[in-house]
C-alpha cells in the first residue's frame, strides 16, 4: 500500500510539472510612458547617456530595448556648418520590423508622448526613418525647420518591437536641446511572463 501511495505521489508531481512547462507566455497589450516596474515589464534603468555633444558632426546610437542582443532602433544626428549654411538633422530609425509613434498631423515627425500616456495599437505608427528635428539655414534665404523634438524634457517615443510574432510595446525617454544635443534617459518594453 505504501508503494502505491508513493507511486501516486510521483505521478501527480510529474503531471503537474508538465502542466507548468506547457504554460504559455502572456504579453501585455499596452504600456504607459514611463512605466518601469510590474509583471511583464522589462526596464533598462536610468542611463543618462549623452549621445551627441556640441562638437558632434555625425553621431549615432543603437538601442536594444528588449535586451535580446539585437539592435531595435538607431538615433542619429547630423550637424553641418559653413559660411553659407547650417544644417541640423536628428532622426530615429526602426531596425527590421519595429515601429515608433508619429504625429497624427505629420507621419514623418516622431511624436512626443507625455508621462503616463498609453502606448498601444491605437497610436500612429511608422517603420523606417522618423524626424526628431531638422533645421536648415541658408545664407540670404528664410530658414526652414520641423520636427517636435527641438527642446524636449521628459518626453517619450512610443515603440513597438516584433519578436517571434509577438508585439512588445515600449518607450524611449529622451531629452533634447537645440534638436541635436540628445540625452538617452532610459527605456522599457513589455516582456513575456507566466
Q: Considering the chain, what percentage of its residues have pLDDT values greater than 90? A: 62
Residue 15: its pLDDT value, please? 47
Asked if pLDDT for residue 36 goes beyond 50, the answer is yes
Question: pLDDT of 44-87, one tens digit each?
Answer: 988 888 766 544 567 889 999 999 999 999 999 888 777 788 88
Mean pLDDT of the chain: 86
Asked if pLDDT for residue 113 goes beyond 80, the answer is yes
pTM value? Answer: 0.84
Asked if pLDDT for residue 17 goes beyond 70, the answer is no
Written in H, E and C, the secondary structure of the chain is: CHHHHHHHHHHHHHHHHHHHHHCCCECCCCEECCCCCCCCEEECCCCCEECCCCCCCEEEEEECCCCCCCCCEEEEEEEEECCCEEEEEEEEEECCCCEEEECCCCCCEECCECCCCEECCCCCEECCEEEEEEEEEECCCCCEEECCCCCEEEEEEEEEEEECCEEEEEEEEEEEECCCEEEEEEEEEECCEC
Amino acid at each position: 500500500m505504501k508503494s502505491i501511495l508513493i507511486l501516486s505521489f510521483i505521478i501527480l508531481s510529474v503531471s503537474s510539472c508538465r502542466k507548468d512547462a506547457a504554460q504559455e507566455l502572456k504579453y501585455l497589450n499596452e504600456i504607459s510612458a514611463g512605466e518601469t516596474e510590474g509583471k511583464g515589464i522589462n526596464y533598462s534603468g536610468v542611463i543618462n547617456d549623452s549621445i551627441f555633444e556640441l562638437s558632434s558632426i555625425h553621431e549615432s546610437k543603437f538601442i536594444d530595448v528588449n535586451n535580446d542582443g539585437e539592435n531595435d532602433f538607431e538615433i542619429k544626428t547630423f550637424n553641418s556648418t559653413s559660411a553659407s549654411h547650417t544644417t541640423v538633422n536628428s532622426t530615429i530609425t526602426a531596425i527590421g520590423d519595429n515601429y515608433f509613434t508619429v504625429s497624427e498631423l505629420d507621419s514623418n515627425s516622431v511624436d512626443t508622448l507625455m508621462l503616463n500616456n498609453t502606448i498601444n495599437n491605437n497610436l500612429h505608427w511608422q517603420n523606417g526613418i522618423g524626424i526628431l528635428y531638422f533645421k536648415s539655414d541658408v545664407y540670404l534665404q528664410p530658414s526652414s525647420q520641423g520636427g517636435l523634438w527641438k527642446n524636449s524634457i521628459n518626453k517619450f517615443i512610443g515603440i513597438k518591437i516584433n519578436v517571434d510574432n509577438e508585439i512588445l510595446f515600449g518607450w524611449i525617454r529622451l531629452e533634447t536641446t537645440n534638436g541635436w544635443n540628445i540625452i538617452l534617459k532610459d527605456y522599457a518594453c513589455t516582456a513575456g511572463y507566466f
